Structure 1
């Protein structure tokens, strides 16, 4: 989705928050924002911020990485929303498709009633899971049990915190793995106690099974494509404010 950069003034989306799980999910948006505005996002972690989290300032818009999973999302809500009342909050990032009709790189949205339309995104129902849906069989089971179109691990928690605080919010996510696709490995088995990826365990797993490299490289290509599509939709959504 390579389009002409939208007209995105530095004060677009004033007093918004965008929340991703991981810095790697946020980076395509941060790069696209810089390209459109001509101003580099400023890293602005508050003192004492937990290691799983990060914060950037994009004009008057706060961009956060909350950490992976519902526990980190709940911790972030206590930190990131403390004493704040953003005009709108978007929780964004990757999602696993449960609906077999969803394509890689397709951008999905679920929003509060009255929330502005998100151009370039398809309306969808998300399920917030406590565990990673690793296999196609996992996704089929989740689809049958929940009726959801896609699975994520943070947005449901964050948007519930927004509802409790009266903050209008939306989930805008992009399909990074389709319903019929197995992930190359069980990332849930590689997490630390505070729900961060343990890179030592990952390296050990790859050393034991070098064949994983091909699958991991394919996943990297897919997430790069998906991240670019999501960034484009997000900057255009901000520009429409």
Structure 2
């Protein structure tokens, strides 16, 4: 195995804990982090960046300064391709974005070699293809269909292009693997986003306040929460 160290950017605390359950808590720069050693002997450092390209980019730069053998973007994503459902894993061979200043990332031979080493099931149990990073979440089935038809992306997230671009600039191999949290036919209530702060932590109070304003919201949140749990279980399989 050629990979000895990996740096990981995960937007949310729950995502980081799922992917790196044995990690020791600490801080790296302005961010909270988890670090440790996988069963394979690979050492990892995972930064909890918070949501969005700006924070993910800053976290990626900090990790690149540590000179890991591989930089990764790990977390949940919205499924765009027909047939994807909660808990499915997807890996990027290319990442696009509508966000200005971000050029598409395309996997090179070294990236592909590292990906196949750390994620050997890609192409079998894990669907590989184009991902897209957006500035805002894609919440409705209609918007997911439109995005899939327009871009050909199989899944969407809000951080990966920034991590990929940083890795390319620093000439560090990159891999992105995501667990689907909501399939293409599923809607995500906008109120659910109120419970996530800029540091990637979840808070119950804003969600409860939203339920008080719209009691029927709870009927949407329960299945969404079940799907998110499936996605977190999917993340636990990545670094086995």
Structure 1 and Structure 2 fold alike (TM over 0.5): yes
Aligned to 1:24: 14
State the SS of the aligned residue for 2:4. Answer: coil
Q: 1:165 & 1:16 partners in 2: Cα distance?
A: 14
**Alignment-derived partner of residue 161 in structure 2:** 156
Over 3 Å counting, the alpha-carbon distance change for 1:175 and 1:192 in structure 2 is closer
Deviations 1:92-135 (Å, cap 9, x if unpaired)?
Answer: 11110111222221111114233232213211210000001011
1:56 match: 34
Q: Output aligned runs, 1:59-98, within 5 Å.
A: 59=37, 60-81=43-64, 83-98=65-80
Q: Residues 31-90 of structure 1, C-alpha deviation per residue, up to 9 Å, x if partnerless?
A: 3xx3xxxxxx211213x61xxx32111132111211101122123234333x22210112
C-alpha spacing 1:62/1:219, structure 2 compared with 1 (3 Å): same
SS in 1 for 2:236: helix
Spell out the pairing of 1:93-108 with structure 2 (5 A cutoff). 93-108=75-90
Cα distance per residue 1:150-204 (max 9 Å; x no partner): 1000011111110011010111001110101111335557776888767654332
SS state at 1:175 partner: strand
Cα distance in 2 between the residues matched to 1:130 and 1:100: 23
Give the aligned partner of residue 38 of structure 1: none
Query: Hey, what's the Cα distance between the residues in 2 that align with 1:80 and 1:18?
Result: 8
Between the two proteins, the alignment pairs up a number of residues equal to: 212
RMSD across aligned positions (CA): 2.5
Moved more, 193-202 or 93-102: 193-202
Gaps of 5+ in 2: 38-42, 94-106
Cα pair 2:10 2:73 within 8 Å, conserved:
yes
- In structure 1, the residue matched to 2:99 is none
The TM-score normalised by the length of structure 1 is: 0.78
